[in-house]
Structure formats: C-alpha cells, structure tokens
Structure 1
Amino acid sequence: MAAVLAGFLTVGILVGASNARGEAAGPASAECPADLVGKADCYRGRDSNGAYYAMAVPDDWNGSLVVHAHGGPDLGAESDPARSLGDLGRWSVMVKEGYAWAGSSYRRGGYGTRMAAADTESVRRLFVEEFGKPRRTYVHGQSWGGNVAAKVVETYGGQDGAYDGALLTNGVLGGGSRGYDYRLDLRVVYQYYCGNHPRPTEPQYPLWQGLRAGSTMTTNGLRGRLQECTGYASAPQERTALQQRNLDDILAVTKIPERTLESHLRFATFTFRDIVHERLGGRNPFGNRGVRYSGSHDDEALNAGVERFAANPEAVRDLSYDSDLTGQVSIPVLTLHAIDDPTVFVEHEAAYGATLSGAGRAGQLVQTFTREDEHSELSDAEYANSIAALDEWVRTGERPTARSIADSCPAFDRTYGTGCFYDPAFDPPPYASRVEPRPGGLLWPAMTAAQERAWSRIEGVGIAP
C-alpha cells in the first residue's frame, strides 16, 4: 500500500498537488447577472479547497436546486472567481424556471474530472448548509461538464439522496481514455502535413505531449502556424493550392468540421500538455499504433509517414479512473445533444448508452437529440423543457420518451421563443464509426482493491479526489 500511495503522490495527476487553498468565505450577497436582477437573490463565496462559487435563489423558488458543472477545462492555475457567476448568467433559464442554482469554478484550472466532481458536490453541500435541503436536487453539466456531472452521479448520486436526477447536455460521455483519440489523430495528422508544430528548427518532442514542457507558445502563435499551413482563416479563393490541399486532407482524415479545427487543435496542444505534464507526470495516455488513417489524397503515404506511439498502460489506467464512466447510476439521467455538435460529436451518446446498457442501467437513461449545430449553447426552450421533463420523471416515476419530451417543448418555446429542434427518431451511430478505434481495445491493467482504496484516501493530490 505504501508503494502504491508513493507512486500516486509523486505523479501529481488530475486533482494536482498545487491546489489553491484558501479560507472558506461566503456565501455573501452579490449582484445578479443582468437578466436575473429583480428576479432572484445571488451569492458568491469560496470553499475550503479554494474554489469560488456562485448561487442564486429565485423569488418564486420552487424548492428544488440545480447544481451546475461547467465545461472546459479552463487552464488557469487558480480558481477563476468570475467563472461561476458567468455560468449563472449563461444558465439563468434554470432560475427563471423557478430552480435555485449553484455552480463551482473548481479549485484550479486544468484537467481533473474527479476533482471537478468533488468541487461540484462541495457547492451542493454549501447550499444545503445555507438554505436547507432542497425538495429535489438535480446536477447539470454541459460539454466536459457533462463528464463531470456524470461522474458526480456515479460518485455521489446514491449517497443519502444527495441527487435526484441528472441532465447532461452536449456531454463528453465517452470518457477521457478514448474521448480525445480524435484530437490525438488531429495532432499527428496535422504535423504530417504541416511540419510546423514543432518546426524542424525547434526542439523536438513526441506529439502525444501536445506541447513540450516549458514552451512559450501562445494561442495566437498556434493560430499563426495553422494559418500558415492551411489558410483556414482566409477565404478559399485566397488560399494557395497547397494550403487548400492540406486543409482538405486534415479535415477529411480527422472528420473534424472546418469551423472548429482551430479549437480542436488548441485542445490537442494546450490541454494535452496539461494532462501529460501537469496531471500524469509526463506519462503518455494516448496511442495510435495500428490505426489506419483514410480519406486523404494519398493514404499510403500518410500512414507510412505519420508519427506513431503506444500509450503507457498506467497512464491510461489513471486517466480512465479519473474520467471514464462505469454506468453505475441509480438515479434518472436525461441527455440532450445536438446532432451536429462540432466539438463533442454526437457519437459520445452512443458510447454512454452502451456503457449504461453494459452495466444493466439502461432504464435509468433517456437520450434526446436536436437538429442543432452548436456546442456551447442550445435553445433555452429545450433546456427549460429538459429540466421539467427530468423533474416530472423523478416525481412520478414515469420514464419519458424522446417523443414525449419533443412534444412538450412548444409550451416552453411560447415563453422563450428560441425554438424546439428535437429529432425523436434519431439514433446516434457507434462511437467507432466517427473515431478510429485503437487496435486491441482498452488494455490498461485494472486497479486492485488496495489501489482503489488508496485513491479514495488521497485528498488534493493526483487525479483522484
């Protein structure tokens, strides 16, 4: 056991030994976001782990609470005091629907799904201490926050009725061990065609690092290199023939939409650096040996020339423990996902559905899909409709269908006027149809019971809470 703990402590993975700790403060009264002024009382504070948070209680509170898990992850070293208040403004529809709201900025930036889940649970407990136990409590997460909220469900959902249901919207539900494979593929395919990240004259490093430790590259610098190679920011007629071919090949092989190419490359650069150098002690959780890339103008040359590497099994295990989902849920879970989400592909829903089905919990899940093509924000009418459908499911015990949820949306759209775009007949394709599977599947060594106990005892260090 001592050896196990020593290894985890020296790695310093996804919670991170450098958590900003501060004296707990609040909740203290704060100015509400503009569209909640006169409709709610708002509060801000900081928990004992250093995470800033925001809360709101509407004037017409229905007695229930929505606990929000934000996406990202942001990459700042400290908790961002403005983040949770901004999230409150963005998700004000929940408060307008009569729900109290609480959200954490997390104790630090950077990756760490279990850390973020622990901070989400922390803000729920702080709300209860201040305002009493709500009638019902729902956790909501969007994007990476969907992964965080799903981890909250599995970790805290069955504890003393802490949560009654979950709403996961455009969520990263494939987990970290495979949910970023397409960004790894982008990283290596981009370098094959562009050769400027790094340039031949710069220090070289394996591309699974995202970026070498100590690099001073900025997001603007990365955009400049992407523009140099592909002309992505220019009108098609202004690109050179080579730029257009590079762009066409990269998009065709990776299946990434052109409009989000830059954001995906940013993630595969800066967030990969955070995962590898700051959370996994320099170990590699990504691999692409045996992957056959296709769709380019010369697949044979691409597959012969692209950089290849194998993942470190322990790094995969640790990233999996932090962010992968087991399907062990005991409360109703409703998901909402844009079919043409350009950032978190809808195939993540197929992966999550398979996970719950494999765990024998398919009856705890209802998935809905919309004909939208945005990632960061969907229709307010749909959010209001979704939380109402989840609430009714919890109250009555009657599991809704995708059709019944679609049919109930127009009543909310009469209030919000943002549209209802449900496609109740949609069935997401398998995850492997969008992202090339890694040959051999998931082969990291399983944790022993002793290792699991060691993880559970570590506070403020590593990927584990």
Structure 2
Amino acid sequence: MGSRITLLAAVAVLAAAFPATAGAADAGAACPDPAAAARCTGGQLADGTPYTFAKPARWNGAVLVDLDFAAGGLASPLTASLLERGYAVGGTTRTVSSWNIARAIGNQAEALGRFETAFGRARYAIAEGRSMGGMVAAGVAQVYPDRFDAAIPMCGGLGGAVGQWNQKLDTVFTLKTLLFRDSALPVTGIPADVPGTQQQWLSAVASAQDTPAGRARIALAAAIGQLPGWGLAPDGSPTPVPDGRDVDGVERGMFLALAGGPLPYLGQAVSSRRAIEQLAGGNPSWNTGVDYAQQFASAAPEQRNAVRRLYERAGLDLRADFGRLAAAPRVSADPAAVRYLERGIVFTGDLRIPVLTVNGTGDQISTVAQQQSYGSLVRRAGHEPLLRQTYVQTAGHCTYTTGEQQAAVDRMLTRLRTGHWPDTAPRTMNTLSAAVDGAAGRYLGYVPPPFNRMYPAGH
C-alpha cells in the first residue's frame, strides 16, 4: 500500500476536486494520483457521509461499492488492479454511520445512485468490503437485492452484530471471572477512557501469560470465544502456523490473537463495545443461560487438548473452573440496546443475489466460526445455490494479498456474466491470485466450526 503521506495527499486532492456538497460532483474530473488514468466523482451523501468513485476509460460495466473506499481507497494496490481490469470502484466511509449498520447499508445504495447519476447505469453493481464493510456488504445483499447484483463480503462479521458481540462477551467474561475477578477491569459499561482501558486489559493479560495458571485460563477463554490458535507477532509480522499437537504453540497463538499484533481482539472488544453502548444507549450483550462447558466442548480439537494439558501442568481443576463460570453473576442485556443492533441487520439467509464470502482462518476479529453461521442460515432458507464460501490461510484481520482479493472479484464477475458459478476451489483461486501479483495464493479447503452464539438462537 502507498505511504500514509501519499494516501493523505490523495484524499486532500479529492476534497479540493470534489466539494463536500450533497450532490454529485463533476464526472469529467480526472482522478488524482495514483488513479489519474480514471475519471472520478465524489461528494457527500444526505447524512454527510463522504463518497468517492473512480471509473476507468475502458469500463467493463461493473462497479464495486465499498463501505470504506472514500477513506483512502484510491491509494490502494487493489484499486489499481481493479481499475486496470476495467472495474469502476468506490464507496463511502464509516465516519458518520459507525456502528449504525442500517444507515451504513442504506448509504451503499445511495452511493450507487450517485455513481450512476454521474456515469450512467452499471451493468453489474457489486457490494464488497472488508471487516465492518464485509458485514455491510452481506447486509446490502439481504436488504437491496433489487439495487445490487452481487456481494463479496470479506472478513466480515457474518454472525451478525448481536451474535458476534455475544461471542466477544463470552471471551472477556471468562477472563474476568477466572483471572481478574477482584479487578476493576470492565466487561461491559466501557468508560470514556478507551485507550486507558484497552491498555489495562492488555497489560493484565500479558502478565497472566507469564504464569502457568494464566496461560491455562487464557487458552480456555480463547477456546470458549472461538478465537484462532494463530496470531500475528507484536510487530504485525506473520508467525508460523502452529502444529496442532504443539500445546505451547497453540496457546501462544491464542494469546497473540487475544492480546498481540497491531489489532488485538481485546483492544477492539473494548473500543467498539464503547461505541456500540453509546449508540445503543446500553449493553446489547448477555450470557444468561449460557453453558460454558458446552461451548468449550465444541471448540477445535487442538484447542481442547491444549487447554486440558495446560490445566494439568498448572495443577488446576478444569471442572472446578467451569463451576466458577456457572456460579458467577451473569450479564443481562438492555432490551432496547438489543433492538438497536437488530435494526442494523440480523442475517436470515434469505438471498436473492449471489454472494461470495472470503475469510481468513486466523482472523481474530471476524472469527471464522461466524462464516458457519451465515452459511447455515442460507442453507436452511433454501438459497445455498447462491452462496460460495472461501477461506484463506492467513493470520490477522483482513490480511489478504491484492491477488487474493482480485481473484474473488473476478470469479464473481464471471458468475454474473454467465449465470453460473465458476470454479472457486482453492487451487483455481490460488492460480488466479498468483497471476495478479506473483504472490502465492493461500486459499485452502476449510470447514469452520459451528458458531456457538448464532442469533436468533432458534436457528
């Protein structure tokens, strides 16, 4: 990706070229570097959200609409690759919508309208994005099948907002109950000093990692929360995939997913929970009635083995800790806050347009088990022919190569042009990926574990 200075310069030029008005800007304007060969349009949506689009001279008729594009997307290598291949690309930012997911979903449809006012109707409108953008893209597929032709959610929280935040509650609640019961570390009700609270949590877990008992209970919390047993090093560099028989390697991976790398699970669990609680007017998560022994039983086999072995080494009684979790005062949700998240999006599996998902097996934020939840709902709704789910062997959140992302977009365009799914098997995806940027693709065959916090639970 280009330097931060280059990215900010591009955004500054855009701001000057496309004034922040509610209407579309001049479609005849040349894009600033590094996308100068394309034509750009931009401005603000009705709620003040910035949007930007770039259309190449030789347009293939497809436009990609991304939640986060206007926050520097013109400077990304993926944008250069897409424009070179004839795709128009653009979208909004989340600066106004934040965790108001319903608004973010609506903004994608409004942004598509601004693009088509400037450049004419797209033959294929594709919602795509990463992280929250992936969840929003899946939401667009469910809410606006009449405006969009397809969606490509990458590393999105496809367990839905209610489900994924219940999952995060399980992890933090387990840590607090078993390791930090007498501390002031918050599970919900995150205070205004978010950076300070993040640091308190991360420091506490790092200290616990130095003791046998701490490592055992960190592993248990991560297994209950369905975190990966693989993470990025503190400097953001990749670590080797641990052998499933390597107890210490698996635990180290769970610790790194929880509290290491540039975007630790705990850091995001604090900051985003604070934002959600402020918007929702209360706590939308609960663990009343949850059986943590049962959730542990559904964890990955290598994680269950690591937890048992670590408990033995530390001289701890795993059954007794499950008793402590069962006896601990539970967290109840504020019903109004739950309704707020429900209004954002609750995935139902009701698809009318094709969807291709991409998720990393070592993603600590959009945990891979959430993909199982989404796929299960689609199958139960009888729309499995419209869905393909793919997996990339990578640690960290949304850590894909340009080629891996381009391969997914190209497969979807083929699906739209032909009306039939092309081959999305790992070998084919990796061949397509390598042809884009020369880097070896990392798609692999993978079956995610059942998501233990599917919402609504009746599914």
Q: Shorter-chain TM-score: what band?
A: 0.7 to 0.9
Question: Of 184, 203, 227, which residue of structure 2 is paired with 1:198?
Answer: 184
The amino acid of 1:45's aligned partner reads G
User: How many Å separate the matches in 1 of 2:355 and 2:135?
Assistant: 13
**Which residue does the alignment assign to 1:413?**
434
> What stretches of structure 1 of length at least 5 have no aligned partner?
1-21, 71-82, 200-204, 444-465
1:282 corresponding residue in structure 2: 282
1:104 aligns with 2:125: no
Q: Could you tell me which residue of structure 2 aligns to residue 427 of structure 1? A: 447
State the distance in 2 between where 1:252 and 1:308 align: 19
Higher relative contact order (CA 8 A, sep 6+): 1
Give 1:52 deviation, angstroms: 0.7
Do residues 351 (structure 1) and 349 (structure 2) align? no
Residues 54 and 84 of structure 1 are in contact (CA less than 8 Å); yes or no, is this contact kept in structure 2?
A: yes
Give the counterpart of 2:172 among 187, 190, 199.
187
Structure 1 contact 107–119 (Cα < 8 Å) conserved: no
Tell me, in whole angstroms, the C-alpha distance in 2 between the residues paired with 1:339 and 1:248. Answer: 18
Q: Is the CA contact (8 Å cut-off) linking 2:175 and 2:218 kept in structure 1?
A: no
Q: Distance in 2 between matches of 1:386 and 1:58?
A: 20
The alpha carbon displacement at 1:59 in A equals 3.2
Q: Which residue of 2 aligns with 1:323?
A: 345
Amino acid at match of 2:395: D
CA distance in 2, matches of 1:189, 1:175: 22
Deviation at 1:337, TM superposition (A): 1.8
Which of 367, 381, 386 lines up with 2:408 in the alignment?
A: 386
Describe how 1:34-433 pairs up with structure 2 within 5 A.
34=34, 36=35, 38-70=36-68, 84-90=70-76, 91-92=78-79, 93-106=81-94, 108-158=96-146, 162-192=147-177, 193-195=179-181, 198=184, 207-209=187-189, 211=190, 215-231=191-207, 239=210, 244=215, 247-248=218-219, 250-256=221-227, 257-262=254-259, 263-279=264-280, 281-282=281-282, 284-293=284-293, 295=307, 297-299=316-318, 300-301=320-321, 302-304=324-326, 306-313=328-335, 315-403=337-425, 406-407=427-428, 409-423=430-444, 425-432=445-452
Distance 2:407 2:145 in 1: 22
Residue 258 of structure 1: CA displacement? 2.1
Identity of aligned residues (%): 23
1:218 offset after TM fit, Å? 3.2
Does structure 1 conserve the Cα–Cα contact (< 8 Å) formed by 2:433 and 2:439?
no
- 1:314 Cα deviation (Å)? 5.1
User: How far does the alpha carbon of each residue in 1:71-117 deviate from its partner, in whole angstroms, 9 at most, with x for none?
Assistant: xxxxxxxxxxxx72413433413223221112111461531211100
Q: Deviations over 1:408-452 (max 9, x none)?
A: 5424523311221222x42222213xx6x79x9359xxxxxxxxx
1:279-318 deviation per Cα after TM superposition (whole angstroms, max 9, x unaligned): 2x22544334332255464442431564412334554344
Q: Structure 2: which amino acid aligns with 1:376?
A: C
Q: Which of 301-310 and 413-422 deviates more?
A: 301-310
Any gaps of 5 or more consecutive residues in structure 2? 1-19, 228-253, 297-306
Q: How many Å apart are 1:118 and its aligned residue?
A: 0.7
Give SS of 1:368's match.
strand
Report the number of matched residues.
383
The farther-off stretch of 121-130 and 406-415 is 406-415
Q: 2:199 is matched by which residue type in structure 1?
A: R
Change (3 A) 1:100 1:292: same
Secondary structure, aligned partner of 2:408? helix
Alignment CA distance shift 1:417-1:320 (3 Å)? same
Report the Cα offset of residue 364 of structure 1: 0.7
**Cα RMSD after superposing both structures:** 3.0
1:364-400 CA distance string (max 9 Å, x none): 1111222222322312212212111111111111223
CA distance change for structure 1 residues 243 and 285 in 2, over 3 Å: closer, same or farther? Answer: closer
Do the aligned residues in 1 keep the contact of 2:66 with 2:91 (CA within 8 Å)? yes
Give the superposition deviation at 1:140: 0.5
Runs of 4 or more consecutive aligned structure 1 residues displaced over 6 Å after TM superposition: none
User: Compared with structure 1, are the counterparts of its residues 386 and 441 closer, same or farther at alpha carbon in structure 2 (3 Å cutoff)?
Assistant: closer
- Tell me if structure 2 keeps the 8 A contact 1:139–1:149: yes
- Paired residue secondary structure (2:70): helix
Q: Contact between 1:30 and 1:44, CA under 8 Å: does it hold in 2? A: no
* Deviating more after overlay: 409-418 vs 140-149: 409-418
CA distance in 2, matches of 1:86, 1:164: 25
Contact 2:404 2:429 in 1 (8 A): no
Is the partner of 1:410 in helix, strand or coil?
Answer: helix
TM-score w.r.t. the length of structure 1 is: 0.73
Amino acid at match of 1:148: V
1:452 matched to which residue of 2?
none
